[in-house]
């Protein structure tokens, strides 16, 4: 090739009057001075001579890999026969210094490391992968054990079925100027609180959710229960006073259902359950109970016996002695009344004196009279089975 090809000034070189234009190579080293992202071009300032070149084509390091280099990145630029300049290599300098300062790990042959915005992705020769953020958060995959692990980094998963969060409690707190800032919630000792929250939706998202947001069918909160304003919640579902001494009364767990049922446990171990209806151990109910139609409860074969009510101290208990009672919620009392009459008749026979019948007991006089012995007014809508 003629010698003049090695000494010509290219069209896109910006010339300096005091700089000799001696371009003797097709490949030159320089640093990126500016970037035209939309057109995939950049301007490179040369190392070998004062000056710079415009409209240098941005190229990628590998097939199907796309990235935008940083300003001041060191590059090698090649010129084709039409004098079009393009980057053919990005050069990373400063390895020794960064390794000495502990900013880079001790890579072994075959291992790879990528870095962007202070976050490093590191792939080891054994297939393990680790991501380390600028704030020392760690997320990784162990190839041999097929294990995913994370440290410090909060864990947030969002799917069509719901949302899951596990990590340090953070809330958007309103400031004095009306703005909101994300703050970490602490206890009275200044320790950062943690939480596990799972919200499960009944259906997958649809366009109507933009008008009326979906309401979780179930919400589970563990560790600490903190409302959207950053206030801790106690066993009475009240905001905790910041100077409250009894921190063991803060909630450690709460399960809330869309229908209003709620189960909460404080850090002292006291459980509180709130629900409209209860059925413990599949307590049997009669066929007139609406829960049977809904399939919520089991029923005895004859369908006549109500499940045992849960009793509280000072609840009312009665035993019918006549044949008239017809309480809808206590159908079995009719048969019990007849059984009690029979029992009293046997009792009367048993207390006859040797000289004749004791006239102190008259079965007819016992109709519509009751003795306290069976629960009829207890905890409504609470049934307890025996299995």
Question: Which residue stretches of the chain have pLDDT < 50?
Answer: 1-8, 17-24, 291-300, 302-307, 387
Tell me the per-residue pLDDT of 195-251, one tens digit each, with 9 for 90 and over: 999 999 988 888 776 677 788 999 999 999 999 989 889 888 888 876 555 566 889
pLDDT on residue 2 = 41
Residue 278 phi/psi, 5-degree rounding, is -130, 140
Instruction: Give the DSSP per-residue string, 22-86.
Output: ----SEEEEEEEEEETTTTEEEEEESSSS-EEEEEEP--SSTT----PPTT-EEEEEE-TT--EE
Pair 309, 378: CB distance under 8 Å: yes
Q: How far is CA 262 from the centre of its chain?
A: 18
Pairing verdict, β 278-280 and 379-384? parallel
Q: Give Cα 83 to chain centroid, integer Å.
A: 57
pLDDT digits (tens, 9 = 90+) for 127-171: 899 998 887 788 899 998 889 888 877 888 899 899 999 999 999
∠ CA 239-240-245, rounded to 5°: 170
pLDDT at 152: 75
Q: Is 199 helix (H, G, I), strand (E, B) or coil?
A: strand
Cα–Cα distance for residue pair 171/193, rounded to 1 Å = 11
Structure confidence at residue 227 (pLDDT): 92
Residues 126 and 146: beta-carbon distance below 8 Å: no
**Per-residue model confidence (pLDDT) at position 107:** 82
Residues 6+ apart with CB under 8 A from 32: 42, 43, 44, 45, 69, 70, 71, 72, 73, 75
Closest listed residue to residue 71, CA positions, set 99, 38, 30, 16: 30
Tokens at residue 84, please?
Answer: 């079009």
């Amino acid at each position: 090739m003629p010698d003049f090809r090695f000494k010509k000034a290219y069209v896109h070189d910006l010339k300096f009057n005091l700089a000799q234009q001696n371009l003797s190579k097709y490949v030159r080293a320089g640093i990126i001075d500016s970037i035209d992202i939309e057109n995939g071009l950049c301007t490179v300032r040369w190392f070998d001579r004062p000056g710079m070149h415009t409209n240098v084509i941005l190229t990628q390091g590998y097939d199907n890999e796309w990235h935008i280099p940083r300003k001041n990145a060191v590059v090698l630029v090649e010129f084709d026969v039409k004098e079009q300049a393009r980057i053919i290599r990005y050069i990373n300098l400063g390895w020794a210094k960064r390794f000495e300062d502990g900013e880079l790990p001790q890579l072994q042959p075959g291992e790879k490391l990528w870095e962007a915005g202070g976050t490093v992705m590191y792939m080891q020769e054994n297939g393990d992968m680790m991501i380390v953020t600028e704030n020392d958060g760690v997320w990784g995959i162990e190839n041999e054990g097929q294990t995913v692990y994370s440290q410090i980094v909060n864990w947030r998963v969002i799917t069509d079925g719901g949302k899951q969060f596990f990590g340090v409690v953070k809330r958007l707190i309103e400031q004095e100027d009306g703005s909101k800032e994300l703050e970490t919630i602490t206890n009275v000792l200044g320790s950062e609180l943690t939480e596990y929250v799972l919200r499960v939706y009944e259906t997958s998202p649809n366009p109507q959710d933009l008008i009326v947001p979906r309401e979780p069918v179930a919400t589970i909160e563990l560790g600490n229960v903190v409302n959207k304003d950053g206030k801790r919640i106690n066993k009475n579902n009240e905001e905790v006073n910041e100077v409250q001494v009894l921190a063991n009364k803060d909630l450690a767990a709460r399960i809330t259902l869309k229908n209003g049922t709620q189960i909460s446990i404080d850090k002292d171990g006291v459980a509180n359950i709130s629900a409209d209806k209860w059925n413990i151990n599949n307590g049997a109910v009669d066929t007139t109970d609406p829960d049977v139609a809904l399939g919520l409860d089991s029923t005895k074969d004859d369908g006549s016996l109500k499940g045992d009510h849960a009793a509280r101290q000072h609840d009312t208990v009665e035993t019918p002695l006549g044949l008239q009672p017809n309480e809808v919620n206590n159908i079995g009392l009719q048969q019990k009344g007849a059984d009690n009459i029979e029992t009293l008749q046997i009792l009367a026979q048993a207390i006859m004196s040797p000289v004749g019948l004791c006239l102190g007991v008259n079965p007819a006089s016992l109709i519509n009279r009751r003795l306290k012995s069976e629960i009829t007014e207890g905890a409504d809508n609470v049934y307890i089975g025996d299995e």
